[in-house]
Amino acid sequence: MERCAARRAPEEERRVRANAREYNEKFQYASNCIKTSKYNIVTFLPVNLFEQFQEVANTYFLFLLILQLIPQISSLSWFTTIVPLVLVLTITAVKDATDDYFRHKSDNQVNNRQSQVLIGGVLRQEQWMNVRVGDIIKLENNQFVAQADLLLLSSSEPHGLCYIETAELDGETNMKVRQAIPVTAELGDTSKLARFDGEVICEPPNNKLDKFGGTLYWKENKYPLSNQNMLLRGCVLRNTEWCFGLVIFAGPDTKLMQNSGRTKFKRTSIDRLMNTLVLWIFGFLVCMGVILAIGNAIWEHEVGICFQIYLPWDEGVHSAFFSGFLSFWSYIIILNTVVPISLYVSVEVIRLGHSYFINWDKKMYCAKRQTPAEARTTTLNEELGQVEYIFSDKTGTLTQNIMVFSKCSVNGHSYGDVQDMLGHKAELGERPEPVNFSFNPLADPRFQFWDPSLLEAVKLGDLHVHEFFRLLSLCHTVMSEEKSEGELLYKAQSPDEGALVTAARNFGFVFRSRTPKTITVHELGQAITYQLLAILDFNNIRKRMSVIVRSPEGKIRLYCKGADTILLERLHPVNQDLTSITTDHLNEYAGEGLRTLVLAYKDLEESYYKDWSERLHRAGSAPEAREDHLARLYDEVEHDMMLLGATAIEDKLQQGVPETIAILTLANIKIWVLTGDKQETAVNIGYSCKMLTDDMTEVFVVTGHTVLEVREELRKAREKMMDASRSVCNGFSYQEKLSTKLTSVLEAIAGEYALVINGHSLAHALEADMEVEFLETACACKAVICCRVTPLQKAQVVELVKKYKKAVTLAIGDGANDVSMIKTAHIGVGISGQEGIQAVLASDYSFSQFKFLQRLLLVHGRWSYLRMCKFLCYFFYKNFAFTMVHFWFGFFCGFSAQTVYDQYFITLYNIVYTSLPVLAMGVFDQDVPEQRSMEYPKLYEPGQLNLLFNKREFFICIAQGIYTSVLMFFIPYGVFADATRDDGAQLADYQSFAVTVATSLVIVVSVQIGLDTGFWTAINHFFIWGSLAAYFAILFTMHSDGLFRVFPNQFRFVGNAQNTLAQPTVWLTIALTTVVCIMPVVAFRFLKLDLKPELSDTVRYTQLVRKKQKTQHRCMRRAGHVGSRRSGYAFSHQEGFGELIMSGKNMRLSSLALSSFAPRPSTSWIETLRKKKGCEGSSAGSPSGAASKTLKV
């Protein structure tokens, strides 16, 4: 994204004066004007043509066109080059213009958004692009802070407080508090704000989301400013009717945009390879030109000199050497089709088709949000079939960000397990009706609980259960809003708190309202107001929260909830037995991936509380070490508590997340979670989505605060894995250095490991001297979770993997804090979820649910890669088969730069005769149906290993093309040497030979693409046979009387095609050429299919066998037994799915298939390459080792 203002020198400090645009404009600060478009009406044509001629192929063909205008060397008419070139330039220009039109439209939409800006003492609606640094802006409740980074001046809340949600910044949906400094908090009306002329001197723009330093100078006083006074772009105003803010940073200077990173031009590995191959082809073309030029010089010197009387040299040619020099350029023109001009535009058309297939896929459409999948770029589709690493955000990407009260333990009794009629634990599909809360008029109708025994305990007056829910209704910082009588709306700082207070509400303990000194709760219908004496707030060190309240009876009680590791050690010794039982329950809940808290209480004596309260007041006003004094007092009172129980909350995953991760893992894709959330939360989600399991050998947690601590923790983790690796690799010692593609014996270790690392540790791990150690350790683990990471750290992790692994990476997220990694990864995917559209706007692909990633990669990505590879192989083959005929002909025409084909055939070959069939294959082809692509994730691996199109495959295509050209020239040449017509006349003449070779070529390449096509559609049939028909129709038309009469100088060979193709000898020659060219290909493919089938071949064969068996079974069934077997994929979402696939047991073939395929190593070709990437001899412990036994029964 660019800004409209010109570039300026880096700032050392920023000076901003309120309500003083003229003063601020002299610093040339960035504005909010967004410009992502590239052209306007005047600049489009010159700029677009300049960009297009930066493509090597386009510049090369422009150079050829200039050569063709030189009579001495031009052996072809200029239109043979200009027609394809203009077509390519026009199609590309139309595509670029369309893209830029939508960019203009998007820019206008963003720039014209309305903001309330204080101008001249009056609030005016101003366009977003006109907001300037130093303006005062008014925000209202639930409004995005979309314009700029603001200094909070005042708000509708007491003391200048306001509540914000920062999900787009750090992924957390809990509300945070910001406060205006006292001197500006009183500026509540526009008249006072209009007179405000304070000046802020602060730090320059930077990407530190959690830090801000500055000073406000006003009325000869100065006031320190911190991050607590700032509203950053990307946050949302909550529970605050209105607030005013002073614009400090705008547009690209905001901290959010500073974290977004630069938009990088993304190119696929196939694009880079194509550019290399085109340069190689050009080099090959030059070599052919040199060979033929030398041949011309020798021929002219030895033979041509004898025929000067009736074959004189052209004017200006005085030697054989100079004749050879001109002949070189002539052959460069003739052989130019070996460098395919239509290659790039054909690739773009195919990619566009693949993008539309993604957009039109109904199975990736979310009806709930009415959101389809969207391919926001057309250049990366085939790279979707080569992904090896996925970097995922957590909040809103893997989870729905919805917390649900699932289970609890009260006084040693666990509630929440649902039992069936026999007293056994019910399965998910067997759940009865949820608990009926109709007795409670204030219950939340959306809340569901499945264990009625807990409600019965409440109704029976169980004192422990009552105290349990009383704690939940009192110990929190939730704000209650009553829109109408009985309609409560809770606003919680964290989703966990909201879930717990809602649970208490439904079970009869309804938090109704609060003031700074009281909390009102309706306990089973009776309103009770508690005096709020103190709140001992939560932080990451304490990991607990407490409140001290006085009941109406005068009793003082402390209620506390917190992490089990912290709270259990603060209990009174009399709780020992209850603690043991509750710990068992906590372990059970944690094993299910639930988020747990322990609840406890303590009665306080009046005298003790009074003394403690006085000491708390003194500590709160201490000038130094205030936090330490408060922490000691909190710790003192939170001891010897009585255990009440524990809660278990489920952070609901998005539908299909565990299954999607399992299947992607089977496709050999590694998934890393990068989240701004805290470690406990991230680990819980890791267990919930089955990234982390109890069966793992070990989960390494790196939490070091210094470089030495982090290095030591990583070293210990590697040593533990190395021990396992040595036992597997029979003592293979780890001495290898990292190669360009980081290959390590660690990646072939036995056992499954996971790595969890915190943000502060990651900062050290990403330093230059440790990044390789961290990456090696992480890549050896099955799962990696990075917690408390900043947006920039997310991008750094992705960049690290790109740098050393040279693997295709994909980043997926839904918030603005994910934009940086989405831009950095090879492929960026945005989830259109709850956290705005910043991630979607920065992404290459977008959809609404994580589970769609499975289909995007395994179906669309794999097919796109397969189609593009087949297209390129065939494209190079057909062009070499076409062009090399001229090379062989040069040896028989005195190296005179004479063409075999007529110039119209040369012009139309790539545009008409062979363009549409290969495009149809590139757009529609598929090796196996989409269900099989999802069912057999191993089919994805050839793309990761880049097997289908690489330098080796390219040379095979070239060799086949050269082989075809040899036969295409020499078989007709040999036949025509002695052949005669039906009337006895000599058959051989130049035009008859040209028609025969051209017809043979069109038929051979059409048959070849028929063999290459794996999935036939009506369009394939129409294009292939239609292209053949078009060839014959154009051929006969060009040799007709009608065209000769209109253009006698251009079409002078009247009736040649009709006469030539009327000869049986010609058709026998064409048939012989076709058979000899095609039969070796058919034989090779048959033998390969029989002796060394690929997994896709085996899957297709299995499908064929199953279809035959189903037909036989239907015939044997009685008429009354009507039914069909469901696909195995319908049951793939059960636990154990991954283990089943890896064992190969679900790939069981029928007896008929086994008799043909069982003894054959169906995937050994993949495994051989896998082993080359890992340590030698590692196949026994490698997870992919089972793949070679895929077809084992």
Strand order in the sheet with 161-165: 175-179, 161-165, 236-238
- Give dist(CA 1140, CA 584) in Å, integer: 31
DSSP 1-56: -EESSPP-PPPSSEEEETT-HHHHHTTT---S-EE-----TTTHHHHHHHHHTTSH
DSSP at 364: G
Question: Nearest-5° angle of CA 237, CA 241, CA 247?
Answer: 55
Q: Which of 550, 577, 579 lies closest to 564 in space, CA to CA?
A: 579
Q: Give the three-state DSSP class for 409.
A: strand
- Give dist(CA 278, CA 757) in Å, integer: 45
Those residues whose C-beta lies under 8 Å from the C-beta of residue 214, and which sit 6 or more positions away, are 14, 200, 201, 202, 203, 224, 225, 248
Select which of 107, 170, 253, 393 is catalytic. 393
Q: Give the three-state DSSP class for 892.
A: coil
- Give dist(CA 611, CA 520) in Å, integer: 26
First to last CA, the chain: 56
DSSP at 398: T
Q: Residue 237 corresponds to which tokens in the numbers above?
A: 């105003």
The single residue listed with the structure tokens 């893209």 is 99
Q: Residue 205 corresponds to which tokens in the numbers above?
A: 């723009």
Those residues whose C-beta lies under 8 Å from the C-beta of residue 1123, and which sit 6 or more positions away, are none
Check if the beta carbon of residue 363 is closer than 8 Å to that of residue 853.
no
- Catalytic, 393? Answer yes
The single residue listed with the structure tokens 């029976």 is 460
Q: Which of 478, 492, 494, 502 lies closest to 404 in space, CA to CA?
A: 502
DSSP 479-531: EEEEEETTEEEEE-SSHHHHHHHHHHHHTTEEEEEE-SSEEEEEETTEEEEEE
DSSP 240-285: -SEEEEEEEEEGGGSHHHHHH-PPPPP--HHHHHHHHHHHHHHHHH
Report phi then psi at 615, rounded to 5.
-65, -35
Check if the beta carbon of residue 394 is closer than 8 Å to that of residue 685.
yes
- Beta-strand runs (E) in 320-415: 374-375, 387-392, 399-410, 413-415
Strand order in the sheet with 698-702: 374-375, 845-847, 827-831, 808-813, 387-392, 670-674, 783-787, 753-758, 698-702
- Give dist(CA 1031, CA 909) in Å, integer: 9
Q: Which of 277, 1140, 1052, 295 lies closest to 659 in space, CA to CA?
A: 1140
- Give dist(CA 765, CA 706) in Å, integer: 10
Those residues whose C-beta lies under 8 Å from the C-beta of residue 764, and which sit 6 or more positions away, are 704, 706, 707, 710, 711, 770
> How many Cβ atoms from other residues are within 10 Å of residue 387's Cβ?
26
Q: Residue 136 corresponds to which tokens in the numbers above?
A: 């005062």
- Give dist(CA 837, CA 489) in Å, integer: 26
Annotated active-site positions, please? 393
